[in-house]
Structure 1
Amino acid sequence: MFTLSDVYTAEQEIKRSRFVAIAAPVSDEAAAKAFIAKASHGDANHNCWAWRLGPSYRFNDDGEPSGTAGKPILQAIDGQDLDRVAVVVTRWFGGTLLGSGGLIRAYGGTAAECLRLAPKTRLIAMTALPVTLHFSDLAVVKSRLSAIADSQIVSEVFTDTGARLDVRVPTDYAADTIALVTDLTAGRAVFEDHDR
Structure 2
Amino acid sequence: MPHTLTAVARHEAEVRKSRFLALAEPIDSPEAAQVFLDAYRDPQATHNCWAWRFGAQYRFHDDGEPGGTAGRPILQAIEAQGYDRVAVLVVRWFGGIKLGTGGLARAYGGAAAECLRLADRVELREECRVLCTCPYADMDRVQARLLAAGARIEQAAFDGEGVRWHLVLARAEAGALEALYTDQTRGQGAWRILEPGDGPGPAG
The TM-score normalised by the length of structure 2 is 0.82
Could you tell me which residue of structure 1 aligns to residue 201 of structure 2?
Answer: none
Could you tell me which residue of structure 2 aligns to residue 47 of structure 1?
Answer: 48
**One-letter code aligned to 1:73:** I
* Count of residue pairs brought into register by the alignment: 195
Secondary structure at 1:153 match in 2? strand
Could you tell me which residue of structure 2 aligns to residue 176 of structure 1?
Answer: 176
The aligned runs of 1:78-93 (5 Å cut-off) are 78-93=79-94
**One-letter code aligned to 2:94:** F
% identical aligned pairs = 46
Could you tell me which residue of structure 2 aligns to residue 36 of structure 1?
Answer: 37
Could you tell me which residue of structure 2 aligns to residue 94 of structure 1?
Answer: 95
**One-letter code aligned to 2:122:** T
Secondary structure at 1:77 match in 2? helix
Partner deviation per Cα, 1:16-43 (whole Å, 9 max, x = no partner): 1111112222333333223223322223
Structure 2 stretches lacking a partner, 5+ long: 197-204
1:11 and 2:12 aligned: yes
Change (3 A) 1:92 1:158: closer
Could you tell me which residue of structure 2 aligns to residue 151 of structure 1?
Answer: 151
Aligned mates of 2:153, 2:38 — CA distance in 1: 35
Change (3 A) 1:181 1:29: closer
Aligned mates of 1:56, 1:119 — CA distance in 2: 23
**One-letter code aligned to 1:113:** E
The TM-score normalised by the length of structure 1 is 0.85
The aligned runs of 1:94-113 (5 Å cut-off) are 94-113=95-114
Aligned mates of 2:30, 2:92 — CA distance in 1: 24
Aligned mates of 1:29, 1:139 — CA distance in 2: 35
Aligned residues: CA RMSD: 2.3
Aligned mates of 2:193, 2:99 — CA distance in 1: 57
Aligned mates of 2:142, 2:152 — CA distance in 1: 12
Larger radius of gyration: 1
Structure 1 stretches lacking a partner, 5+ long: none
Could you tell me which residue of structure 1 aligns to residue 160 of structure 2?
Answer: 160
Stretch moving more, 132-141 or 22-31:
132-141
- The 8 Å contact of residues 128 and 193 in structure 2, kept in 1 or not, is answered as no
Partner deviation per Cα, 1:44-103 (whole Å, 9 max, x = no partner): 222211111111111111222221111100011111222222211122222222222221
Change (3 A) 1:93 1:164: closer
